[in-house]
Amino acid sequence: MSKPDACDPIADDEIVLKHVTERSGWYDPSREVPVKWEAFRPNANDVNGKSVWRAKYKTADEVARLATRFSNRKDHRYFVMSLRVGDLRRIGIQVAATPDEGQGELGHASLSNLNVAEYESHQDTFRALAERICRELILCVSGPFGPFGEDARETP
């Protein structure tokens, strides 16, 4: 029997979680807008959009542990942002369940149109969208979590 893969459609009232490393400087509570738009800027690896995790399947602490597990660095601390799916969709961001087949973790999703091709084609529009997320849509930021070191292999 196959494992559940959390392919169920994502409802507008769901919350998704997105991590940022403390060292990135993308989150600083002392700034007027604490989260930087770069947290949503896709890089060359983000072909299918920015990764997020569904809060109905993962806690913020678990998201930070997963980030450590998937990273080569085990000494990072992480902040985790909460965003409401309906808010993201309202400004044109597509949110889709994208099961994490490689790692077998439940609750993976993608902000599908925040992908590298979209960014490279429409930089100014993209920047405005990312700025809007940072200014208006982040419900809360929790953390820092970690560092977890090799303990990140185990979720509590």
**Least distance to another protein from the beta carbon of 154, Å?**
18
- End-to-end, the C-alpha distance of the chain in Å comes to 25
Q: Does 67 bind another protein (CB under 8 A)?
A: yes
Read off the tokens for 35. Answer: 């989260």
State how far the Cα of 92 lies from the Cα of 80, in Å rounded to an integer. 22
Nearer to another protein, 2 or 45 (CB): 45
CA distance 107 to 103: 11
DSSP secondary structure letter of residue 78: E
Q: Does 44 bind another protein (CB under 8 A)?
A: yes
Is 50 among the residues that bind another protein (CB under 8 A)?
yes
Question: Is 107 within 8 Å of 52 (Cβ atoms)?
Answer: no
Question: Which residues between 133 and 152 bind another protein (CB under 8 A)?
Answer: 135
The span of 5-13, 70-78, 90-98, 102-110 binding another protein (CB under 8 A) equals: 70-78
Rounded to whole angstroms, how far apart are CA atoms 120 and 137? Answer: 23
Residues that bind another protein (CB under 8 A): 19-21, 23-26, 28, 31-33, 36, 38-39, 41-45, 50-51, 67, 70-73, 76, 123-124, 127-128, 131-132, 135
